Amino acid sequence: MNHQDLFLGIVQNRQFHPLGSKFPLGSSIRLTNIQMQEARSPESGELDLTQYEGNAIMVQGHSGGGWIYAARVIDKAGPILTAVVKWVFGPDSQVK
């Protein structure tokens, strides 16, 4: 079975801002559907996050080099849950 990690974050300005300890506070990570070992640039499969703007999302994939590879958005929070996620991570999360 192919193990993939789960990442929780907020989409702002069409960028994924992961929450939690794996990434520096306030960082943004790009998402691509390209596999890590593919002989293509990750930009060629970059996911358009426009439809998730302002929402918390859960992404499944593999992180490396500022990208999440084989990325798949597996869930999108509504306004209430997004507010809870922002509250839990607090005002210092740099995600408003």
Sign of CA dihedral 72, 78, 84, 86: positive
Both tokens of residue 86? 């922002």
Query: What confidence score (pLDDT) does residue 11 get?
Result: 96
**Mean pLDDT to the nearest integer, 85-91:** 80
Domain segments of the chain as ranges: 5-77
Question: What residues pair up with 12 in beta bridges, in sequence order?
Answer: 15
Average pLDDT score over residue span 72-96 = 83
**Could you write out the three-class secondary structure of 14-26?**
CEEEEECCCCCCC
CB atoms within 10 A of CB 63: 18
**DSSP result, 20-74:** STTS-TT--BEEBSS-TTSSS-GGGGBPP-GGGTTSEEEEEEEEETTEEEEEEEE
pLDDT tens per residue, range 25-70: 778 999 999 999 899 999 999 999 999 999 999 999 999 989 999 9
The predicted pLDDT at position 35 comes to 95
pLDDT mean across residues, the chain: 89
The predicted structure's pLDDT at residue 91: 61
